[in-house]
Amino acid sequence: DGLVNLAYLKPTTQSSTGWGGVSSRAVDGNGNGKWNRGACTHTARQGWWMVDLEDLYVVEKIFIKNRVDCCSDRINGVEVYVGGALCGTIQYDPIKYGYTVECAGGNGIAGQTVKIVNDNTFLTLCEVRVWGPKEPVVLEASADEEVIGDESALGDDSVSIASCPVGKV
């Protein structure tokens, strides 16, 4: 499908760190779901985790590898955001350890960050993969921007008049 993992080894942060579960573990490529293998993040309380994609990308889907050795139900109700837009919410399934959240029905959401929020309890993530096209979004100039062209000829003595309603600029 031409998508790449935009999050691999990118800068991460989280609201707090518990038991040595640093935020970078979620994007290190080690998807082992057992805590004692050193592959999972862990907050010290309810909170959030975030990756900076370092540019604006269209994020089509996000894969989250959950912890497998205990506490898997903590993922229930976790919200996944791209930029400030909600991509989706995870519903815990006792027979699943990996969850894929599609953004905007697979059409994607443009953003520079992916934030995963658990307002209920500890957040533990054993791998996060952010899937999208490898090329960043290129923003085109808006029609509202001022366009400056060549100077008119010296003999041009035409006058431009513009008016705006009171209180408008």
Q: What are phi and psi of 115, to 5 degrees?
A: -125, 135
Q: What is the DSSP letter of 6?
A: T
Q: What is the DSSP letter of 75?
A: G
The CA distance from 108 to 61, in Å, is: 7
pLDDT value of position 145? 56
pLDDT value of position 83? 97
pLDDT value of position 158? 53
CB under 8 Å to 125, separation ≥6 — which residues? 25, 26, 40, 41, 49, 64, 65, 66, 116
The CA distance from 75 to 70, in Å, is: 11
Convert the pLDDT of each residue in 30-64 to its tens digit.
Answer: 999 999 999 999 999 999 999 999 999 999 999 99
Question: Is the CB of residue 53 less than 8 Å from the CB of residue 129?
Answer: no
Tokens 């008049």 — which residue? 161
Q: What is the mean pLDDT of residues 92-105?
A: 96
Convert the pLDDT of each residue in 113-168 to its tens digit.
Answer: 999 999 999 999 999 999 999 999 988 766 555 545 555 555 555 554 544 445 44
Q: What is the mean pLDDT of residues 25-32?
A: 96
Cα Rg of the chain (Å, integer): 23
